[in-house]
Structures are given as structure tokens and as C-alpha cells.
Structure 1
């Protein structure tokens, strides 16, 4: 089960670099999701991360295809209201694209439009979505059965909740505040990483 760490647009570029470097060894992918930062700031952030040894293959640029192209990052993640991944790859065949979805209908549309995977949420109640009802495990199970592309889930996921997700055919989990608002982000990433290793299915592979 992959572990995706998603930045939460609450840190300065310099602090974000420190935190990403700290959690990188524990995660499979790092999504740069910094909506308030300028293109110049994002390009600087990515170039600095690469210069300091963060593997290019682990970086995913959220929404900002221009930044991905300028920094030669090959993975992007698109919001549901964005253009289709199929159209994107017609222009830039080297790019890999996933899409954020919030329903089975949106997920099916994303798959039809060429998404290589979807991130679905929010699974559990989360402070990031105050007052919004969690979509729950049952809907996640229905979603994975309805799609042929991989599913990553996000929203309120904690290490203690991983066991109930492990029996579902998920590609991975994505964590935002659970890692990047924690006083010790690397320690929290390690907790997620350790818990997923306890999955008896993955140990058998």
C-alpha cells in the first residue's frame, strides 16, 4: 500500500523543504499542493528539493502543470474540475496524471477521461473538511469495485485506521494534515509506514 504525503499550503518554502526532506525516506510520493504560492515560488521549491537529493520520481505537482513542465517533473495531480488527462497527454505524452474525485460518478468520468489513478475522499471526518460528512468505508469498497484504475484514499486517515483499509483493494493512502501539521512530521510518517508494513497481505508478497 503506497503512502502519499500531501503538503497543506501552511508553511514557508524554506520550512516546507525541511519537512519534505524529513518525511521523504518514509513515503512513496510527495504531492506539492501549494495553492497560495506563486509559480516562481513553486519552481524554486521543486528545484531546491531536487538539488538537496529528494528523488524526482517521488514528486507529484498538484494542479500546476506549468510548474511540472518547467521543473521536468513527470507526475501531476489534477483537481476534478481541471482539463482531462487524455488531453494533457496528447500535448505532453511523458506526463502521468491522477485526478481527485468525490463520488463514484466522478471517478468513472475521470477513468474515461484518461486518469491513471484517482484520489478519493474524504473517507473519515477531518478538520480539513469541517461540517462535511465522511464518505465512509462502504463507498470506498464500491468505488474500487467500479473502477479498473488504482484508487488512493484521503481524509482523516490515522495509523490506527489503516487496518480497516487494508482489506480493500486500494493502491494507497494519502495523508495531509496528519503529517504536515504534526510537530514531528517524520515521526508521524514513520508511524504510517510501520503500520502498513504490518499488513499480513503485503508481508506475504
Structure 2
């Protein structure tokens, strides 16, 4: 399983850069999902990260395909309301493309259009979607069975809930507030990684 850390759009560029740098060697992938920031602010953030030694191959740019291309970053995450996978794949075949989906049907469509993976959620109720019931781990299992591409679970996944999520055999989990809303993001990411990787991680220490 892979650990995806997704920014929560609640921090300044300075604060966010510091948090990302602190987890750069822990998280498998880091999604830049800053919807309220300008292109200039996101670009400044990326430049700071690269200057601080963050591996460009770990960065995934949410929605802003233009920003990814400008910085020669090859991974993008397309929201459900954004560009279709087919459109982006046709124009930029070199990109690694993830698609946010909310059902098995949407996942199948994304796979048909050439998505490299899907981000499925929300699994549990979460602060970013207050009042909306989570789709649950059974739905996650159904999505996993419906497609041959990797399925990443997202939404309300905590350290306590992670064992339940793992029973549905996702290829990874994505965590936002559980990492970036924590005062000590590096420690939170480290704890999650131990749970995600399990015995394999312990043997590597």
C-alpha cells in the first residue's frame, strides 16, 4: 500500500512548505491541492519544495494541469468536476493521471479513458464533507473489484480506522487532515506509514 498525503488548503505557503518538507522522506506521494491559492502562490510553493530537496516524482498536482506542465511535474490528479481523463491523456500522453471518483461506475469509466489510478471516497464522514455519510468500506471493495488499475481510498481515514480500510485491499490510502492539520505532521505521517506498510516497514528499519 502507498501513503498519499493531501494538502488541506488551510496554511500559508511558508507553513505548508515546512510541513511538506518534514514528510518528504515518509509519504509515498504528496498531493498539492490548494484550491484557494493563486497560480503564483502554488508555483512559489513548488519552487520552495524543489529547492528543499523534495523529490519531484512524489508530487501530484490537483486539478491544475497547467501548473504541472509549467514545472515539468508528471503527475496530476483530476477532480470529478475537472478535465476528463480522455482529454488530458490525448493531449499529454506522458502524464501519470489520477481521477477522483465516487462510484464503481465512475471508476470503470476513468479506467476506460486511460487513468493510471483512481482516488475513491469519501470512505468515512470527514470534516471536509460534513453532513455527508461516508460510502463505507464495502463500496471501496466493490470499486476495487470493478477495475484493474490501482484504487486509493480517501475520506476520514484515521489510525484507528485504517485496519478496517485495509480489509478492502486498496492499493493505497490518502490522508489530509490526519497529516496536515496536525501540529506535528512528520510524526503523524510516520505513524500512518507504520500502519500502512506493516511488517515490511518494520523489517526495513
1:98 counterpart = 2:98 = yes
Report the counterpart of residue 48 of structure 2 in structure 1. 48
- Scaled by the length of structure 2, the TM-score of the pair is 0.94
CA distance in 1, matches of 2:119, 2:70: 24
CA contact (8 A) 1:96 1:116 kept: yes
Deviations 1:147-203 (A, max 9, x none): 111100001111122222223231100000111001111111011011123258x98
Other structure's SS at 2:153 match: strand
CA distance in 2, matches of 1:23, 1:185: 7
Report the counterpart of residue 30 of structure 1 in structure 2. 30
Report the counterpart of residue 17 of structure 1 in structure 2. 17
CA contact (8 A) 2:138 2:168 kept: no
CA distance in 1, matches of 2:87, 2:129: 30
CA distance in 1, matches of 2:106, 2:67: 26
Greater shift, 136-145 or 87-96, is seen at 87-96
CA distance in 1, matches of 2:142, 2:93: 31
Other structure's SS at 1:25 match: coil
CA contact (8 A) 1:80 1:106 kept: no
Report the counterpart of residue 198 of structure 1 in structure 2. 198
Matches within 5 A, 1:1-205: 1-198=1-198
Greater shift, 160-169 or 59-68, is seen at 160-169
Deviation at 1:28, TM superposition (A): 0.1
CA distance in 1, matches of 2:123, 2:97: 22
Deviation at 1:109, TM superposition (A): 1.6
CA distance in 1, matches of 2:132, 2:85: 28
Deviation at 1:41, TM superposition (A): 1.1
Deviations 1:74-128 (A, max 9, x none): 0000011222223212222211110001111221221122211100111112111
